[in-house]
């Protein structure tokens, strides 16, 4: 998986819809960050 990720990030601009793919990745990363933030806030309250 690490090798695939390395090659993907080196060459993803060669894909036709690379902007759409990058937007989806960023959206997913933001969702993960939000969940982690909410979890930390809930853990702090408990």
Q: State how far the Cα of 36 lies from the Cα of 23, in Å rounded to an integer.
A: 20
Give residue for tokens 């933001």.
30
Q: Using one digit for the tens of pLDDT, what is the confidence trace for 1-46?
A: 999 999 999 999 999 999 999 999 999 999 999 999 999 999 998 8
pLDDT of residue 46: 82
Give residue for tokens 């309250």.
45
Residues 2-40 as b/e (b if ≥16 CB within 10 A, e otherwise) read eeeeeeeeeeeeeeeeeeeeeeeeeeeeeeeeeeeeeee
Q: State how far the Cα of 30 lies from the Cα of 7, in Å rounded to an integer.
A: 23
| This prediction's pTM | 0.74
């Amino acid at each position: 998986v690490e090798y695939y990720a390395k090659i993907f990030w080196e060459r993803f601009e060669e894909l036709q819809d690379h902007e759409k793919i990058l937007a989806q990745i960023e959206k997913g990363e933001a969702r993960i960050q939000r969940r982690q933030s909410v979890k930390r806030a809930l853990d702090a309250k408990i």
